[in-house]
Structure 1
Amino acid sequence: MSEDHHTMHRVFAYGTLKRGLKNHHLMARARFLGLAASVPHYRMIAGDYPVLFEQGAGLLPVSGELFEVDDATLVELDKLESVGTLYDRKTVAIALGDAGVTDAFIYIGRPAAWASRGWLPFTARDADGRLHWPAPAG
């Protein structure tokens, strides 16, 4: 039995790629693995969508969703995220509930690319104290 899409990749979605949000259609061939959280801590800014950075004040874990995607989907995600210009795709540890910790790709903003945007820090948290976009209702 051969695999049409070759390698599968885990991707942590914390913004518009999450289920029900505007870019989730790019995940049409993805397999949802579950609700998850970053093990590393980040700071977040947001305008129309969130951006994570590895340095700065207020570093916290981030809540999101973990997916498994094929090669073609990963290429589309890299295009959406303007990898190499606006974001870097990195491998980090992601906590997947009771399933433990796994490695997954995450898109991290390049500070110089975002400095002039004037977007404000985003600090809304979920019930467990993790950064959560969009903010929980209430």
Structure 2
Amino acid sequence: MQPTMQQGIAMPSTRPPIPDQAAQQDRAAAMALEAGGSSPSPNGSDYVLTLYVASLTPRSVMAIKSVKEVCEKHLSGQYALEIVDIYERPTLAKHDQILAAPTLIKRLPLPLRRLIGDMADEHRVLVGLDLRARTEGSDRQD
């Protein structure tokens, strides 16, 4: 009888399972209600967003301001925005697999989208929220 090698055994992943589409919608609806908003409409017109930031650094403050401005300008009355400090709620950040801050997650309407980094570029945020189509040449001049 051969001894078993404990070191060669692959351990199962500790990563939480990726929730299915129905679970994402349920969580998004619950978050919208918690944030004081209404439940997302069945036709998918309401946006449920989570912005992960790293404390109140200047970059985080700018991201919060920029995202709120874009939402008010383009989604007025049709969104719920939850702001999560990754240092205050690390479990939630880990569950959503946040690797960098700021990160904006669009939970509803599906598909789920993630926008990581600079939130000051309004066009980039709108593309990330699926509110504007991507353009190859973009109207920016270098």
Q: TM-score range by the shorter chain?
A: under 0.3
Q: Compare relative contact order (CA 8 Å, sep 6+) and give the higher one, 1 or 2.
A: 1
* TM-score using structure 2 length: 0.24
Higher strand share: 1
Higher helix share: 2
* TM-score using structure 1 length: 0.24
